Amino acid sequence: MQRTTTVVVGAGHSGLAMSRRLTERAIDHVVLERGEVAHSWRTQRWDSLRLLTPNWMTRLPGYGYRGDDPDGYLAGPEVVDLIATYAKEVAAPVRTGTTVTAVRPDPDGGFTVDTDQGPWQARTVVLASGALTAASVPAVADGMPEGITQVALDAYRNPDQLPEGGVLVVGAAASGIQIADEVHRSGRPVTLSVGEHVRAPRTYRGRDILAWMDDTGLLDERYDEQPDLLRARTLPSMQLVGSPERATLDLNALTERGVRLVGRLAGVRDGVAQFSGSLPNVCALADLKLGRLLDGIDSWAGGEGERFAPTRVPDPPPLTLDLGRGEIRSVVWATGLRPELSWLDVPVLDRKGRVRHDGGVTPWPGLYVLGWPFLRRRKSTFIDGAGADARDLADHLVGHLAGA
Is 282's pLDDT higher than 90?
yes
Residues 105 and 157 in one domain: no
Residues 172 and 223 in one domain: yes
Angle separating helix axes 383-401 and 13-24, nearest 10 degrees: 40
Contact 190, 167 (CB under 8 A): yes
Residues facing 237 on adjacent strands? none
Boundary of a domain, candidates 287, 316, 333:
333
> Rg of the chain's alpha carbons, rounded to an integer?
22
Residues 314 and 346 in one domain: no
Q: Give the start-end residues of each E strand in 210-359.
A: 238-239, 260-262, 265-269, 272-275, 320-322, 328-333, 337-338
Domain count of the chain?
2
Residues 324 and 245 in one domain: yes
Residues 17 and 160 in one domain: no
What's the pLDDT score for residue 353? 81
Is 227's pLDDT higher than 70?
yes
Nearest to 192 by CA among 177, 203, 182: 177
Is 114's pLDDT higher than 90?
yes
- Tell me: the pLDDT tens digits for 21-32? 999 999 999 999
- Tell me: the pLDDT tens digits for 30-88? 999 999 999 888 888 889 999 999 999 999 999 999 999 999 999 999 999 999 999 99
Is 131's pLDDT higher than 60?
no
Residues 183 and 329 in one domain: yes
| Parent domain of 179 | 135-333
Query: CATH number of the domain that 391 lies in?
Result: 3.50.50.60
How high is the mean pLDDT of the chain?
95
- Tell me: the pLDDT tens digits for 247-281? 999 999 999 999 999 999 999 999 999 999 999 99
Is 132's pLDDT higher than 80?
no
Residues 369 and 306 in one domain: no
Q: Which of 220-229, 301-310, 333-342 has the lowest mean pLDDT?
A: 333-342
Residues 238 and 366 in one domain: no
What's the pLDDT score for residue 182? 97
Boundary of a domain, candidates 333, 366, 391:
333
- Tell me: the pLDDT tens digits for 157-179? 999 999 999 999 999 999 999 99
Boundary of a domain, candidates 333, 353, 368:
333
Residues 362 and 293 in one domain: no
What does the CA dihedral 158, 86, 376, 6 come to, rounded to 10 degrees? Answer: 110
Contact 164, 329 (CB under 8 A): yes
pLDDT mean over 358-383:
96
Nearest to 194 by CA among 276, 285, 257: 276
